[in-house]
Amino acid sequence: MDHITFLVAVVIVTALAFDFTNGFHDTANAMATSIATGALKPRTAVLVSGVLNIVGAFLSTEVAKTISGGIVDDTLVSPAMIFAGLVGAILWNLLTWLLGLPSSSSHALFGGLIGAVWVGAGSHGVHFDKVVEKVLIPAVASPVVAGVAALIATYCAYRLTARARRGSVTKGFRLGQIASASLVSLAHGTNDAQKTMGIITLTLISAGALGHDAGPPVWVIASAGLAIGLGTYIGGWRIIRTMGKGLTEIQSPQGFAAETASTTVILASAHLGFALSTTQVASGSILGAGLGRRLAEVRWGVAGRMVAAWLITLPAAALVGGVSASAVKHGGDLGTVVVALVGAALAAGIVLLSRRNPVHANNVNDAHEVTIRTEPPAPVGTAA
């Protein structure tokens, strides 16, 4: 493998690191409500989700032929820009995780790439009309659609089962939740692991290690699947807490309605070619399910912070991607090493900060707030 240069190797490692953060950032999409309602024990939930993500990665071999779906000009993209974009995406994913905010990993990746290409190749490399069409409109429409679907479904579920035995109803919907959450995990594995495989494959093609139109080698499929599965299994407990407890108090009929809405929206849009963010769909569903049950409290403050994070995800990741791209562009291999080291240091710092007030499998359901300080209930969001 003499085609694998230093830069290509760095890109592959960074892509797998992004895949890992993608996994633990998005565990909550499938499993937060199941964990909150007790349908699955926390450890079991992340294990099921992780395994299904790996299975999903192997199920689909239809790798996206473009890195970005036309948002940036793929012919102008160099491995250095991909690396810079990935660094932006990883850092943004880690920061939002620290704050317990469910933000879109796909938007982070797009943002990072846009920033890197803008700096590396000029603004003509970014197709802004595609950004509106493929990112902004689905981002606005999909959570609303999922929310409305979950709202109506939740209302119907409570109306129908109002006079039935509480115990039987709760148990029944919990079982249903396991199935619907598993389906979300499977769909996530096929979609998101594909992105990393696409990135690694296209990098290898651009480096000449693979022929044009080559599919991903087995080691790429396996490592991307494992990275996302492992990330999912580690579990982004801070985000799970926000989605399962923070937005609203979830009961099992609501959890089932929310997960069914998420699954349907994801599959319907994928089938019709809409790219959307699993995270935003799942958050929309949960809010809808909260509104659909009378007396359920929806914490609009948390929802507002989450939407704010959605809005700044793309520009923030673009900024980091752009800065990294300029370092790599002007500094060559040395610049790459510096960016990698600074990125790793920032990532380690964020992980250390999270240790001050850790959220894990044993305490994920104990509170609804994710705080950074050790002093008890300090409001989150001050650092954002």
Give residues in contact with another protein (CB under 8 A): 56, 59-62, 129, 132-133, 137, 141, 145-146, 148-150, 152-154, 156-157, 160-161, 164-165, 167-169, 171-173, 176, 179, 183, 186-187, 190, 253, 256-257, 260-261, 263-265, 267-274
Q: Which amino acid is at 313?
A: T
Q: Any bridge partners for residue 298, and if so which? A: 248
Residue 256 or 310 having the CB closest to another protein? 256
- Give, in order, the Cα–Cα distances in Å from 60 to each of 19, 48, 56, 169, 197: 16, 19, 7, 36, 11
With respect to another protein, which residue has the nearer C-beta, 139 or 328?
139
Closest alpha carbon to 254 in 142, 146, 367, 150:
150
Q: d(Cα 120, Cα 71) in Å, to the nearest integer? A: 15
183 vs 291 by CB, closer to another protein: 183
Residues in contact with 204: Cβ distance below 8 Å, sequence separation at least 6, in sequence order: 3, 4, 8, 210, 214, 217, 220
Contacts of 267 (CB under 8 A, 6+ apart): 187
Min CB(36)–another protein separation in Å: 18
Sign for the CA dihedral angle at 314, 320, 324, 326 comes to: positive
Nearest to 154 by CA among 336, 281, 294: 294
In sequence order, the β-bridge partners of residue 215 are: none
CB of 187 to another protein, least distance (A): 5
Nearer to another protein among residue 51 and residue 350 (C-beta):
51
* Direct distance between the N- and C-terminal alpha carbons of the chain, in angstroms, rounded to an integer: 44
Nearest to 272 by CA among 179, 140, 138, 104: 138
Min separation Cβ 115 and another protein, Å: 22
Find the shortest distance in angstroms from Cβ 156 to another protein.
5
> Which one, 259 or 369, has the nearer CB to another protein?
259
- Please say which residue, 172 or 381, places its beta carbon nearer to another protein: 172
Neighbours of 13 (CB within 10 A): 13
Q: Residue 147 Cβ, how far from another protein at the closest point, in Å?
A: 10
What is the closest distance, in whole angstroms, from the C-beta atom of residue 131 to another protein in the complex? 10
Q: How far is the CB of 344 from another protein (least distance, A)?
A: 35
Residue 45 or 145 with smaller CB distance to another protein: 145
Q: Which is nearer to another protein, 273 or 376 (CB)?
A: 273
Q: How far is CA 211 from the centre of its chain?
A: 31
Q: 3-state DSSP: the chain helix, strand, coil percent, rounded to 5?
A: 75, 0, 25
What one-character-per-residue DSSP string does 128-178 give?
HHHHIIIIIHHHHHHHHHHHHHHHHHHHHHHHHTTTS-HHHHHHHHHHHHH
Whose Cβ is closer to another protein: residue 118's or residue 256's? 256
Shortest distance in whole angstroms from residue 245 CB to another protein? 22
Least distance in angstroms from the C-beta of 270 to another protein: 8
